[in-house]
Chains A and B, each alone.
Chain A
Amino acid sequence: MKYLDEFRDPVIAKQILSEIEKTVTKPWVIMEVCGGQTHSIIKNGINQILPKEIELVHGPGCPVCVTPLEIIDKAIAIASKPNVIFTSFGDMLRVPGSQMDLFQVKSEGGDVRIVYSPLEAVKIARNNPEKEIVFFAIGFETTAPGNAMAIHQANREGITNFSELVSHVLVPPAMTALLSSPKNRVQAYLAAGHVCAIMGWREYEPIAKKYKVPIVPTGFESIDILEGILLAIQQLESGKYEVSNQYIRAVQRDGNRLAQDLVNKIFEVGNRKWRGIGEIPQSGLNVRKEFVAFDAEKKFSVGNIVNQESEKCIAGIILQGLKKPYECPAFGKECTPMNPLGATMVSSEGACAAYYKYQRIKND
Chain B
Amino acid sequence: MTEFDLDLMSCPLPKMDYDTIQLAHGAGGKLSSELIEKIFLPRFGNKTLDKLEDQAILEIPANRIAFTTDSFVVDPIFFPGGNIGDLAINGTINDVAMSGSKPLYLSVGFILEEGLSLEILHKIVLSMEFAAKHAGVQIVTGDTKVVNKGSCDKIFINTSGIGIVPDGVNISAANIQPGDKIIISGTVADHGIAVMTTREDLSFKSQVQSDTVALNGLVDDMLNVSKNIHAMRDPTRGGVATTLNEFARQSNVGIQLYTDTVPVKPEVNGACEVLGIDPLYVANEGKLIAVVPSNIADKMLSVMQKNEHGKYAKIIGEITDKNLNIVVQETGLGANRIVDMPIGEQLPRIC
Contacts and interface: CB of A to CB of B under 8 A. Distances in A.
Contacts of A103: 344
Contacts of B275: 116
A14 B266 CA distance: 25
Contacts of A357: 338, 340
B151 interface: no
Interface in B309-351: 322-323, 326, 328, 331-338, 340, 343-344
Most buried by B among A49, A113, A357: A357
Contact of A358 (B201, B322, B338, B344): B338
Contacts of B270: 1
A94 B331 CA distance: 28
Interface in A330-347: 337-338
B332 A13 contact: yes
Contacts of A360: 338
B333 A10 contact: yes
B8 interface: no
A363 B336 contact: yes
A251 to B, nearest CB: 20
B11 interface: no
A4 interface: yes
Contacts of B150: none
Most buried by A among B270, B326, B328, B335: B335
Interface residues of A, number: 33
A252 interface: no
B333 A46 contact: yes
A283 to B, nearest CB: 26
Contacts of A309: none
B262 to A, nearest CB: 15
A44 interface: yes
B71 interface: no
A45 B337 CA distance: 7
Contact of A359 (B322, B333, B337, B344): B337
A261 interface: no
A44 B343 contact: no
A14 B259 CA distance: 15
A45 B273 CA distance: 19
A80 interface: no
B337 A44 contact: yes
A48 B335 contact: yes
Given A13-B333, A94-B344, A361 B338 contact: yes
Given A1-B266, A94-B344, A44 B332 contact: yes
Contacts of B335: 44-46, 48-49, 363
B219 to A, nearest CB: 33
A81 interface: no
B240 to A, nearest CB: 16
Interface in A30-68: 42-46, 48-49
Contacts of A167: none
A106 B278 CA distance: 24
Nearest to B338: A358
A161 interface: no
A94 B345 CA distance: 12
B338 A14 contact: no
A356 B336 CA distance: 13
A338 B44 CA distance: 45
B333 A1 contact: no
Nearest to A43: B337
Contacts of A356: 340
Nearest to A14: B333
B336 A4 contact: no
A245 interface: no
Interface in B194-208: 201-202
Interface string B263-288: 00010011001011000000000000
Interface string B6-28: 00000000000000000000000
Interface string A1-17: 10010001010011001
Contacts of A222: 332-333
A338 B202 contact: no
B239 to A, nearest CB: 15
Contacts of B201: 113, 115, 120
A125 to B, nearest CB: 14
Nearest to A115: B201
Nearest to A4: B273
A120 B199 CA distance: 14
28 contacts: A1-B266, A1-B270, A10-B332, A13-B332, A42-B337, A44-B335, A45-B331, A45-B333, A45-B335, A45-B336, A46-B333, A48-B335, A49-B335, A94-B344, A120-B201, A222-B333, A337-B343, A338-B343, A357-B338, A357-B340, A358-B337, A358-B338, A359-B337, A360-B338, A361-B323, A361-B326, A363-B335, A363-B336
Q: Which 5 A-B pairs have the closest CB atoms?
A: A45-B335, A10-B332, A48-B335, A358-B337, A45-B331
Interface of B: 201-202, 259, 266, 269-270, 273, 275-276, 322-323, 326, 328, 331-338, 340, 343-344
Given A358-B337, A361-B326, 19 more contacts: A1-B270, A10-B333, A14-B333, A42-B337, A44-B333, A44-B337, A45-B331, A46-B333, A48-B334, A49-B333, A94-B344, A115-B201, A120-B201, A348-B276, A356-B340, A358-B338, A358-B340, A359-B338, A361-B338
